[in-house]
Amino acid sequence: MVFFILLLSYVIGSVPFALIVGKWGYGIDIRQHGSGNLGGTNTFRILGKKAGFIVTISDILKGTLAASLPVLFHTDLHILIAGIPAVLGHCYPIFAKFRGGKAVATSAGILLFYAPLMFVVLVAVFFVVLYLSKYVSLSSLIACSAAVVYGLIVQDVLLTVVMTAFLLFLLYRHRTNIVRIISKTEPKITWL
């Protein structure tokens, strides 16, 4: 049952909502535009607010659904562990030639199910940093760092370990963004 849940979590994470919304709603393969990432940020930039919100919310709910699998199937598998394959599925989706997004929204969706209050706090942190910096990538990294701090404060060892791993993974996935932020060539949002 554990293997089935982990596999199902990966499949759920692999659903490329940015590709689906782009192709079905706009006749555009979003992988051919902007950063080429199948995520909310690139969708906002290429297709606009409506499509961006649809993709972002859908990607969040992927993580939430994946995290809920142990409860739905009445197993003892930890919620955070069940959510990890969904993050990998979003980044390396089997339905989109293993070329996906950066997993910020999907990771957040896992936290929405695991600790809703922390999710609200992290969303607030994200938008405060976004308002001040106009950088989505920087806001994502700081929000994830805040999740690590939250885990340390509440002394949740597994949460701290998982969020530290997510932070390191996000740093890797955002390495080009970090270079562009330092060189001041990273695109800034204009809608906030």
Cβ count near 103 (within 10 Å): 27
**10 Cβ contact list (under 8 Å, min separation 6):** 85, 86, 88, 89, 94
pLDDT band at residue 103 using 50, 70 and 90 as cut-offs: confident
How high is the pLDDT of residue 111? Answer: 97
Judge contact between 177 and 186, C-beta under 8 A. yes
The rounded distance, in Å, linking the Cα atoms of 85 and 66 is 8
Instruction: Encode pLDDT of 64-95 as tens digits.
Output: 999 999 999 999 999 999 999 999 999 999 99
Residue (of 147, 171, 146) closest to 158 by Cα position: 147
- The pLDDT, as a whole number, for residue 127 is 96
How far is residue 14's CA from residue 88's CA, in Å, rounded to a whole number? 8
Q: How many CB atoms lie within 10 A of CB 167?
A: 19
Task: Give yes or no for a contact between 81 and 161, defined as CB atoms under 8 angstroms apart.
Answer: no
Q: Token pair for residue 188?
A: 């800034």
3-class secondary structure, 55: helix
Q: pTM of this prediction?
A: 0.94
Domain assignments of the chain as residue spans, ordered by start:
2-182
Max Cα–Cα distance, the chain, nearest Å? 50
Contact, 62 vs 86, CB < 8 A?
Answer: yes
Q: Give CA–CA dist 188/106, Å, rounded.
A: 22
What digits encode the pLDDT tens for the residues 127-162?
A: 999 999 999 999 999 999 999 999 999 999 999 999
pLDDT tens track for 22-60: 999 999 999 999 888 999 999 999 999 999 999 999 999
Per-residue confidence at 170, pLDDT binned at 50, 70, 90? Answer: very high
Residues in the chain: 192
